[in-house]
Amino acid sequence: MQYRQLGRSALKVSEICLGTMNFGPRTTEAEAFVILDRALEAGVNFIDTANQYGGELGAGITENIIGRWLAQGGGRREQIVLATKVHEPMSALPNDRGLSARHIRLACDASLKRLNTDHIDLYQMHHIDRTAPWDEIWQAIDVLVAEGKITYVGSSNFPAWNIVRGNEAAARRHSLGLVSEQSLYNLLERRIELEVLPACIEYGVGVIPWSPLAGGLLAGIDNTGGGRRDTADARDSVKRLRPQLDRWVKLCAELGQPPGATALAWLLHQPGIPATIIGPRTIDQLEAALGVPELTLSKEFLAQIDEIFPPCGNAPEAYAW
The residues annotated with a catalytic role in the active site are 53
Cβ-defined contacts of 31-36 (< 8 Å, 24+): 31/282, 31/283, 32/65, 32/66, 32/69, 33/69, 34/283, 35/280, 35/282, 35/283, 35/286, 36/66, 36/69, 36/76
The residues that bridge with 278 in the sheet, in sequence order, are 18
CA distance 170 to 177: 5
DSSP 134: H
CA distance 91 to 181: 25
Rg (Cα) of the chain, in Å, rounded? 19
Alpha-carbon torsion (292, 72, 19, 27), positive or negative: positive
Cβ neighbours of 159 (radius 10 Å): 15
What residue type is 130 in one-letter code? R
Whether omega for the bond prior to residue 316 falls within 30 degrees of 0, making it cis, is yes
